[in-house]
Structure 1
Amino acid sequence: MTVSARLEETKNAILKRVSAKPRVGVVLGSGLGPFADTLEGLQKISYSELPHLPASRVLGHAGNLCFGKARGVEVVCMQGRAHFYEGHSLDSVVHGVRTMARLGVSAVLLTNAVGGLVPTWGVGDLMVVSDHLNLTGQNVLIGPNDESLGTRFPEMSEAYDPELRSIAHQIAKDKGITLREGIYAGLSGPCFETPAEVRMLQILGAHVAGMSTVQECIALRHMRVRVGALSCITNVAGGTEGNPPNHLEVEETARAKRGELQTMLEGWIEAAGRLS
């Protein structure tokens, strides 16, 4: 079955359950899922009830497709994502965001929990992604190109939409939130980085490291959907002496930053909903 055919099956299954016409899509990373529960008129569909949507087995990823409104804007949220390191194919990993595109969203806001690579940045800092390094050794577009999705050679010079980034900075300024900007290094995981890998990433110019987002961004830009990405630094990449990183630390930090993250997302969704 082609990618397009799988997307149509998922889309049709959704439309039998909800009549929403979302304008903005949001992907909620580790520990960030509770944002979806704040949507007005919330309707949830478990990934397990939809064809071709893989369920995540990682703590902090509930596995629901959520529909509702934020600041009056129709939204579809992925409450958790599947990861390549879980053994899913890349087509499966990006099926959720591709489905959002098929539902008609004009922009998708990706969130993620990351390890920080800048010594002067702290755990709990937020960063808007300006660019990425695809260090996974994979690309979801390898193989025959589906022309109904996009061109064979998608242009990626502005993968993370400049207007969405500017909007994020204005929201942060208005709300008194410190917002960094930088480059996301995408790794396959599931191992946290070694100290040598951290030094390599710093030399390459990355500011944070994570195990998601990159393939989603590639798939969305292939389908000509605007992309914004917001990272929450939940641990120090590579750990510090006597304090190795762990997933519980990721969850705890994300929980502590939910207030700021909700403020950022609500404002971002409202502004993104006005973009053409």
Structure 2
Amino acid sequence: MLNQIYDTCEFIKNKTNFIPEYGIILGSGLGDFAEDIKIEFTLPYEEIPNFPVSTVSGHKGALLFGTVGTKKVMAMQGRFHYYEGYDMKQVTFPVRVMKHLGITKLIVSNASGGVNSNYKVGSIVIITNHINMMPEHPLRGANDERMGPRFVNMSEPYSHHMIAKVKEIAKTNNIEVKEGVYVALQGPTYETLSEYKMIKNIGGDCVGMSTVPEVIVARHMDLETFGISVITDMGNEENIETVSHAEVLKAAKMAEPNVRLLIRELIKLY
């Protein structure tokens, strides 16, 4: 894998000559954050050696390089999911590439289903912790110490400093934000009512099909990480909302302006 990372990084460096500080993964319905980046280079996934190609509607499939304020960033317009048929090493490969290109901080965003009764469709949730229920672990197999330690300390998967900064930004801009624990399931089916009940019972506040493998690999490589989620549907003990991917994208779009502001100001100020 390390040789593949080097090959991919060499290709990207030759195309861009760009050293980013921040990496950003833009999830479902949040791809328009690209408008907040002064873009210098765009590389479609299909042109990048060793990169998977996103197959999900709403994921545009390109690496963007540019600036937000004075900070150099690279952003993934669309991520890769285990349910698409990729293994976890493929799903998380771009995070390793971003690290080797120079990033020290990673921001991940997603759309998720809510089980916390304090949430509603359109709620913005700062992810404070997660529960990994994916059927494959991204660090399974032989460990290469050049990429990170065999056993990873996950006591602070999401940066307390970045969380505090975003809460300050939200308060200053009168944006309501929630906090919560994100549960990662395989997908691609949305959850049953019984699964929503299980998620609540084990301590989850919201549920989705991404993010956690990326964060595990980010922490493996000692990247400071921040996660944010938009609640796009709700499931509670009495009923479950009918949901489709189109409705998920629509709900994410509702919250997108505020999410964009929070991410933009975090990058500028931290």
When normalised by structure 1's length, the TM-score is 0.95
Show structure 2 runs of 5+ residues with no match.
none
Contact map agreement 2:235 2:241 (CA 8 A) in 1? no
Contact map agreement 2:234 2:241 (CA 8 A) in 1? no
% identity of equivalent residues: 34
Contact map agreement 1:193 1:238 (CA 8 A) in 2? no
Report the Cα distance in structure 1 between the residues aligned to 2:259 and 2:188, rounded to whole angstroms.
Answer: 25
Report the Cα distance in structure 2 between the residues aligned to 1:238 and 1:84, rounded to whole angstroms.
Answer: 26
Report the Cα offset of residue 42 of structure 1. 3.5
Report the Cα distance in structure 2 between the residues aligned to 1:239 and 1:245, rounded to whole angstroms.
Answer: 16
Report the Cα offset of residue 242 of structure 1. 7.8
Q: 1:254 aligns with which of 232, 252, 255?
A: 252
Match of 2:145 in 1: 147
Report the Cα offset of residue 41 of structure 1. 3.4
Look up the SS of the partner of 1:75 in the other structure: strand
1:147-182 deviation per Cα after TM superposition (whole angstroms, max 9, x unaligned): 110000010000111111111111111111011111
Look up the SS of the partner of 2:196 in the other structure: helix
For structure 1, which segment, 233-242 or 162-171, has the greater mean C-alpha deviation from structure 2 after superposition?
Answer: 233-242
Q: 2:88 aligns with which of 84, 87, 90?
A: 90
Q: 1:44 to 1:171 in 2, by over 3 A?
A: same
Contact map agreement 1:236 1:245 (CA 8 A) in 2? no
The residue type paired with residue 197 of structure 1 is E
Report the Cα distance in structure 2 between the residues aligned to 1:143 and 1:220, rounded to whole angstroms.
Answer: 17
Match of 2:108 in 1: 110
Match of 2:220 in 1: 222
Number of residues of Structure 1 aligned to a counterpart in Structure 2:
270
Contact map agreement 1:238 1:244 (CA 8 A) in 2? no
Report the Cα distance in structure 2 between the residues aligned to 1:42 and 1:77, rounded to whole angstroms.
Answer: 12
The residue type paired with residue 22 of structure 2 is V
When normalised by structure 2's length, the TM-score is 0.97
The residue type paired with residue 40 of structure 1 is K
Report the Cα distance in structure 2 between the residues aligned to 1:52 and 1:268, rounded to whole angstroms.
Answer: 31
Q: 1:185 aligns with which of 183, 193, 204?
A: 183
Contact map agreement 2:157 2:225 (CA 8 A) in 1? yes
Contact map agreement 1:194 1:238 (CA 8 A) in 2? no
Q: 1:195 to 1:241 in 2, by over 3 A?
A: closer
Report the Cα distance in structure 1 between the residues aligned to 2:237 and 2:108, rounded to whole angstroms.
Answer: 25
Q: 1:103 to 1:28 in 2, by over 3 A?
A: same
Report the Cα offset of residue 52 of structure 1. 1.4
Match of 1:209 in 2: 207
Write the mapping of 1:17-32 to structure 2, written as runs, cut at 5 A.
Answer: 17-32=15-30
Report the Cα distance in structure 2 between the residues aligned to 1:5 and 1:271, rounded to whole angstroms.
Answer: 35
Q: 1:65 to 1:155 in 2, by over 3 A?
A: same
For structure 1, which segment, 31-40 or 60-69, has the greater mean C-alpha deviation from structure 2 after superposition?
Answer: 31-40
Report the Cα offset of residue 100 of structure 1. 0.8
The residue type paired with residue 41 of structure 2 is Q
Report the Cα distance in structure 1 between the residues aligned to 2:246 and 2:158, rounded to whole angstroms.
Answer: 29
Contact map agreement 2:9 2:101 (CA 8 A) in 1? yes
